[in-house]
Amino acid sequence: MIDEMKERVFKANLKLPELGLVVLTWGNVSEINRELGVIVIKPSGLDYSQMTSSQMVVTDMEGEPLEGGLKPSSDLKSHVILYQHFEEISAIVHTHSRYAVSWSQSGRDLPVYGTTHADTFYGPVPTTRQLNNDEVDNEYEMNTGKVIVKTFQERQLSPLAIPGILVNGHGPFTWGANPNEAVENSLVLDEICSMAQLTETIMTSDNFLPQYVLDKHYFRKHGKNAYYGQK
């Protein structure tokens, strides 16, 4: 089963450069199996073109490696914090994709301007506050995870309804029920950031999507009465 996790995580990581969501080694995908008590994640700083599935790093639920070999991604502690607090999710993606990073650097939440956004995110995508100096100097990656969790708690958001966030001055984290879904959510987030940026260059007054249209588009794909796609 762990070998199957490694293969899924490996393939999901390869999708990031294929989809234009990462350059160099700026991204990672992980998956958790709570029954086995393990997390599988991309190794730190390894070129995507040189990776193999066997090199994916296996850790315990606290992020301690269980096998010898390569070091896990430097963002592992962020993933661990999210898994500990968002029990509904099973995979996480972090990238430095161009449009999502641009929006995170603005410090603004991503508004809901259209149905493309509403199909995946049930409301604005939040941007966290900036980490303070002490949070950056001491356990930076762990505190990145904590500020994400704190943002969801303070705003009373569901990680299932809003499957991603923009970390202020840093970039996007997305998640899902499996690695492929988490990668898809990362792609959607980058696309809707791009669309929102273009929208704001031509709009002359606020034109947010009405709540009833948001409801329609989100719930036709999510929940017990969803009817989009094939059964």
Known active-site residue 119: yes
Instruction: Tell me, letter by letter, the H, E, C secondary structure of the chain.
Output: CHHHHHHHHHHHHHHHHHCCCCCCCCEEEEEEECCCCEEEECECCCCHHHCCHHHCEEEECCCCECCCCCCECCCHHHHHHHHHHCCCCCEEEEECCHHHHHHHHHCCCECCCCHHHHCCCCCCECECCCCCHHHHHCCHHHHHHHHHHHHHHHHCCCCCCCCEEEECCCEEEEEECCHHHHHHHHHHHHHHHHHHHHHHHHCCCCCCCCHHHHHHHHHCCCCCCCCCCCC
Q: Which of 99, 119, 122, 212 is catalytic?
A: 119
Known active-site residue 140: no
Tell me the C-alpha distance between 229 and 88, whole Å.
23
- Tell me the catalytic residues: 119, 228
